[in-house]
Every structure is written in C-alpha cells, then in structure tokens.
Amino acid sequence: MFITLFGPDSYRRSSRLRHIVEEFKKKHPNGALERFDLEEKDSLDRLRNFIQEQSLFAKAKLGIVEHAGETDGAAKVLKSASNNSSTTIIAVSEKKLPKEFAFLGKEPNRAEEFDELAPATAFAFIKKEIDARGLTVTDTDIKNAVAAYNG
C-alpha cells in the first residue's frame, strides 16, 4: 500500500505523517520502520533492499520516502512494492509527484494534499492548535501570524 502526502503546508503534512507512524507503531509494535531521503547517496539501493527483503522479525514494514519525484529510478523501485502486502510506503513531497508515479494514486493507495490555507481557514486552524495546547494567544496575534506567514 502507498500513502502519498504532498503539498506546500509542511506543518500539516508532517503532523499527518507523525499520526500515521504512531498508528503503525501501535498496530505493529515489532514492525520495521525506516526513512529514505532519496537525495542521500545509496538511499535508493537501501529502499530497494527494504522493499525486496523479508524480515525475520517484522511482519509489517513502513518506509517513509522523501524526494522521490526528484530521483531517477525511484518510480520503478516504488512500483516493485505494489505487490507486497506487508509493506506500506509513505511518499512525502512538497509538490505533487510526476506522472510516472501515477500508480500511487490507484486503489487501494491514497493521496492526501496539504495546500496552503486561506486566511480565514488558517486563523481557525491556528486557533484550534493553540486551544489544543492550552495556550493563551489573542486573536490579534493570530491574525498577525496569518498575515506574516501568508497561508
């Protein structure tokens, strides 16, 4: 299974990634979890091995892949995981992945987009985050933050 998290809103994208990882750890306490930044040397080979090798101890595997869209050969390596039911791959990107990654959008896979928020939505989102943390911030300060960060 593939989950693609993309869009310019890195805060919400990262929050969603953390949530998925936490759920994976709860469901599979002995599962294998590995991160792959495909801009790093040998990371594509490490990803290929992660997908192909069967773990002796972990029945489920979760791979987090960054910079797949900027790496030659990444689509082919990721596609090789599509028949592996014990492996979940999360592709994280600031932009929507190129068309050679179109297979990531097909069932049972899912994609979640994190666009920049409109000012009113950003205000409500920040207010909710502040309330969840039990902080006290004035509405004026929130409005100033929304204006300063523009989405």
Whole-number average pLDDT of the chain: 90
113 Cβ neighbours under 8 A, 6+ residues apart: 6, 7, 96
Q: How confident is the model at residue 12 (pLDDT cuts 50, 70, 90)?
A: very high
Q: What is the pTM of this model?
A: 0.85
| pLDDT tens-place string over residues 56-84 | 777 899 999 999 988 889 999 998 888 77
Q: How confident is the model at residue 13 (pLDDT cuts 50, 70, 90)?
A: very high
Distance of CA 123 to CAs 6, 10, 15, 115, Å? Answer: 22, 17, 18, 15
Give the separation between CA 145 and CA 29, rounded to whole angstroms. Answer: 39
Give the separation between CA 5 and CA 124, rounded to whole angstroms. Answer: 22
* pLDDT exceeds 90 at position 23: yes
- What confidence score (pLDDT) does residue 151 get? 61
